[in-house]
């Protein structure tokens, strides 16, 4: 047996990862486990301890489903999962370095939201026609540029992302060109399915609680009155929600949008007394 896919070696490696012993135990019995069982759900849920592992959690759900259909290549899938986790850790680490001091309010927290939105969209609409690694990198580095020039933002960000990805050995170097294309697409109307998906994931972030905080900070930076900022934000999220290009995106953010809208209306009611 090839040692690279020996279950014992894989499990040994898994136990050294942040996802920990629970994932190792889950993988060890994956070929026979009932994915609907309480044990499976508890073990998978235990992985959801940080943003990187949330994505691995989503991937593992798909892996578990596939494991019940076919068992002949499950050992190789364990290795693929290991590689994906290692790559994600590197991508998250580099994104944090470059974005945590971003002055345009497009910071690391926003990038994390976008990559999680990408995964939600893939989960809802299917991932088979997309290159997931390219989407991950594009989501995390789409705002890598700190430029105030909107017309240069995408091109500058693409160059920064290229330099970073060239240093990440686990990232397929032949995919960097596609990452650059996706990041550059933020300067124009999306033309391909993956450009629509990454753009939509970015726009969805405007409808989250963090999106509201970012927007209020931007309004404050513009010296807007509070009432004006609230009215502007209400109009902004209405337009954002209506123009989401993917119906799955509207379903995913609908509750967040409604709650945010109600919150803004409640705040504005104080000015009507």
Q: What is the pLDDT of residues 13-65, one digit of tens each?
A: 545 544 445 555 555 554 444 445 555 444 444 444 455 566 666 665 665 56
Residue 65 domain flag: yes
Q: Find, among 123, 126, 144, the residue nearest to 55 by Cα.
A: 123
pLDDT in tens, 170-192: 899 999 999 999 999 887 889 99
d(CA 273, CA 271): 6
Residue 137 domain flag: no
Whether the full predicted model's pTM is greater than 0.85, yes or no, is: no
Q: Which residue has the higher pLDDT, 89 or 139?
A: 139
Residue 264 domain flag: no
pLDDT of residue 238: 96
Residue 154 domain flag: no
Residue 246 domain flag: no
Number of compact structural domains in the chain = 1
d(CA 43, CA 39): 6
Residue 242 domain flag: no
Provide the residue range defining the domain that includes 58.
Answer: 1-87
Highest mean pLDDT, choosing among 9-13, 37-41, 129-133, 154-158: 129-133
Residue 220 domain flag: no
Sequence length of the chain is 273
């Amino acid at each position: 047996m090839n040692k690279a896919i020996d279950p014992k070696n894989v499990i040994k490696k898994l136990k050294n990862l942040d996802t920990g012993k629970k994932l190792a135990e889950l993988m060890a019995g994956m070929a026979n486990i009932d994915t609907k069982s309480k044990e499976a759900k508890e073990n998978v849920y235990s992985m959801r301890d940080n943003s990187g592992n949330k994505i691995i959690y989503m991937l593992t759900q798909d892996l578990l489903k596939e494991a019940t259909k076919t068992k002949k290549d499950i050992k190789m899938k364990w290795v693929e999962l290991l590689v994906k986790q290692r790559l994600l850790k590197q991508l998250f680490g580099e994104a944090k370095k470059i974005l945590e001091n971003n002055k345009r309010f497009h910071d690391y927290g926003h990038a994390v939201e976008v990559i999680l939105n990408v995964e939600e969209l893939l989960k809802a609409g299917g991932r088979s026609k997309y290159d997931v690694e390219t989407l991950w990198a594009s989501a995390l580095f789409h705002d890598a540029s700190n430029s105030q020039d909107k017309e240069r933002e995408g091109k500058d960000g693409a160059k920064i992302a290229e330099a970073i990805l060239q240093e990440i050995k686990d990232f397929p170097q032949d995919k960097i060109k596609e990452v650059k294309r996706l990041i550059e697409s933020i300067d124009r109307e999306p033309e391909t399915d993956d450009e629509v998906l990454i753009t939509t994931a970015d726009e969805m972030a405007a409808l989250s609680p963090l999106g509201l905080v970012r927007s209020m900070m931007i309004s404050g930076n513009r010296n807007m009155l509070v009432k004006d900022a609230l009215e502007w934000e209400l109009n902004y999220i209405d337009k954002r929600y209506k123009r989401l290009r993917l119906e799955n995106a509207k379903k995913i953010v609908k509750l967040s949008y409604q709650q945010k809208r109600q919150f803004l209306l409640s705040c504005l009611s104080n000015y009507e007394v």
